[in-house]
């Protein structure tokens, strides 16, 4: 599996329905083991997700299936990354 960083950029305010669908999408990714981490930026209008996918095409399918992206509320950029493992 490869790791991808998805940067979501705010475009328009999502409806409550779209927001709830996005939360369900994130939860489904978490339960499937594909979501490593996600969160909102404090000083940037957008949010991010770290996901695991077989390849770039599979990661793109996941990004495009996000309700925020489907509804045009957010645009995204996606980057494949190699994570470094450190002991805390």
**All domains in the chain, ordered by first residue:** 2-81 (3.30.70.1060)
Supply 30's token pair.
Answer: 């978490």
Supply 26's token pair.
Answer: 């994130």
The single residue listed with the structure tokens 């909102």 is: 40
DSSP secondary structure code for residue 41 in this structure: -
What pLDDT does 84 receive? 83
The single residue listed with the structure tokens 């709830």 is: 20
DSSP secondary structure code for residue 66 in this structure: S
Distance CA 39, CA 37 (A): 7
pLDDT band at 6 (very low <50, low <70, confident <90, very high): very high
Question: Do 29 and 67 contact (CB within 8 A), yes or no?
Answer: no
Give tens-digit pLDDT for 21-80.
999 999 999 999 999 999 999 998 999 999 999 999 999 999 999 999 999 999 999 999
- What's the farthest any 2 CA atoms get from each other in the chain? 41
């Amino acid at each position: 599996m490869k790791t991808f960083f998805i940067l979501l950029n705010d475009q328009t305010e999502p409806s409550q329905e779209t927001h709830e669908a996005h939360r369900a999408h994130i939860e489904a990714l978490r339960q499937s083991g594909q979501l490593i981490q996600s969160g909102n930026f404090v000083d940037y209008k957008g949010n991010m997700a770290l996901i695991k996918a077989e390849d770039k095409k599979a990661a793109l399918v996941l990004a495009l299936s996000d309700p925020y992206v489907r509804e045009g509320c957010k645009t995204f950029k996606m980057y494949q990354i190699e994570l470094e493992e450190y002991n805390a």
